[in-house]
Amino acid sequence: MNNGGKKALGVGLGMLSALALVGCAFAVLRIAGTMFPGLEHSPWAYWLAVLAIPEAVFVVATVVLWRKRGPVAAGILATGLVMALHVAVHLTLHW
C-alpha cells in the first residue's frame, strides 16, 4: 500500500473510532436514563454525555496522537469539528 493509502486508512480509522465513542456516549445516556428516571429529562445530562465528554476526549486524543499517528489524529479532529459544527447549527436554529 502506498503512502496516500495508508494516510487515508488512518483518517478513516480515526473517524470510525471517534464515531464509536459518540455511539458509546449515547448508549451511556440511555442506560443512565433507564437507571435514574429523573435524569432522563435533564438537559445538562444530555449535553455533558453527548457533547462535553466526547469533545474533551477528541481533543486529548488528537494532541496525544498527533506526532506518531497524524492521519488518525486528523480523522478524530475532523469528526470532532463536524460534531461541534452540528451542535452549533442546532443551537442556532432552535434557540
Which residues of the chain are modeled with pLDDT < 50?
none
Do the beta carbons of residue 13 and residue 75 sit within 8 Å?
Answer: yes
Q: How far apart are CA 34 and CA 23, in angstroms?
A: 17
Residue spans of the domains in the chain: they are 3-94
| Predicted local confidence at residue 94, as pLDDT | 82
| Predicted local confidence at residue 83, as pLDDT | 87
pLDDT in tens, 30-43: 888 788 887 767 77
Q: How far apart are CA 16 and CA 22, in angstroms?
A: 10
pTM for this structure? 0.79
Q: How far apart are CA 80 and CA 95, in angstroms?
A: 22
